[in-house]
A and B are shown apart, each in its own frame.
Chain A
């Protein structure tokens, strides 16, 4: 005789919301919005809102599918153990259906209401995050977040494509900026939550190659990131407002990255610089992207 697994009560709607990783979505929505507002075309407010909504829903779908696939991993990490699936508040199948449905809805709505170019890039970004990062790379290589970082770099490209129907050099630079920003951002986090990743068996760089290599890589990735961040100004794609803000913010980022790379840790406040770099890196993207929009409006 077989015993059936006990049925869970239907999941609370807040758990479906939690599946979409709303905090991560904030940055995705913001960079997408900035990509759209930086485009040299006026967007209809309703269609602009729809495009940003689709970017948010697409990011939510990717987050839900990520949590569906990684439920076992989330269960052994302190930071993620309280999520709906590892905490046993939701059936895995519900998360899968929710993620696939939301992803398909976001792409179809983008295609019908905005344009096909934006819908195609949105579809690629969802598939990239789920298949390339979550399923393929995350558990296999310490370079997981380097290549996987591309998934988070798509929103400014989608925003720009939503406004213009095409892709240009500036949104490609914004893509490259987020792409190159991701390794220092995540490796700074991985340095001070290393034990969590190690317990879960995720081959994050500090776990596999050690702290010294990670610190050096943070420093190395900051160099091309800084060049890409400032490049729109000398290339004539952005004005002095962006140029000055991006240069100042990048200088602070580079300083913090250099301190992390130098590996000077304080006995009183361990991982102080790593935590500072992680916190500042989030502010950095908000300010630099915001400056691009302000620069466009001033011009």
Chain B
């Protein structure tokens, strides 16, 4: 692998890691709010 290819691979891996981290954080926040909504729904019944 040439240094340019190596650089490209690292750049893409870093970008993908950032995207996955952001999506995971968003998922955690979503699950938190879903839990709150479900608790409210349960209290309503």
Binding site for B on A (CB under 8 A): 9-13, 44, 46-47, 50, 53, 113
Contacts and interface: CB of A to CB of B under 8 A. Distances in A.
A46 B34 CA distance: 6
Nearest to A12: B12
A50 B12 contact: no
Contacts of A50: 30, 34
Contact of A44 (B9, B30, B37): B37
A46 B41 CA distance: 11
A44 B12 contact: no
A46 B13 CA distance: 32
A47 B30 CA distance: 10
20 contacts: A9-B5, A9-B8, A9-B12, A10-B9, A10-B12, A10-B13, A11-B12, A12-B15, A12-B16, A13-B16, A13-B19, A44-B41, A46-B30, A46-B34, A46-B36, A47-B34, A47-B41, A50-B34, A53-B30, A113-B38
Contacts of B38: 113
Interface string B9-40: 10011011001000000000010011011101
Nearest to B33: A46
A11 B15 CA distance: 10
Most B C-beta atoms less than 10 A away, residue of A11, A44, A53: A44
A13 B9 CA distance: 12
Contact of B34 (A10, A11, A12, A113): A113
A47 B12 contact: no
B41 to A, nearest CB: 7
A12 B8 CA distance: 10
A217 to B, nearest CB: 43
Contacts of B16: 10, 12-13
A46 B37 contact: yes
Given A10-B13, A50-B34, 14 more contacts: A9-B9, A10-B9, A12-B12, A12-B16, A13-B12, A13-B16, A46-B30, A46-B33, A46-B34, A46-B37, A47-B34, A47-B41, A50-B30, A113-B38
Contacts of B15: 12-13
A12 B18 CA distance: 12
A12 B12 CA distance: 6
A17 to B, nearest CB: 9
Pairs A-B, 8 closest by C-beta atoms: A46-B37, A13-B19, A46-B33, A44-B37, A113-B34, A10-B12, A9-B9, A13-B16
Nearest to B34: A113
A44 B40 contact: yes
Nearest to A44: B37
Nearest to A17: B19
A88 to B, nearest CB: 14
A50 B27 CA distance: 10
Contacts of B13: 10
Contacts of A47: 34, 37, 41
Contacts of A46: 30, 33-34, 36-37
B43 to A, nearest CB: 12
Contacts of A11: 12
A281 B41 CA distance: 39
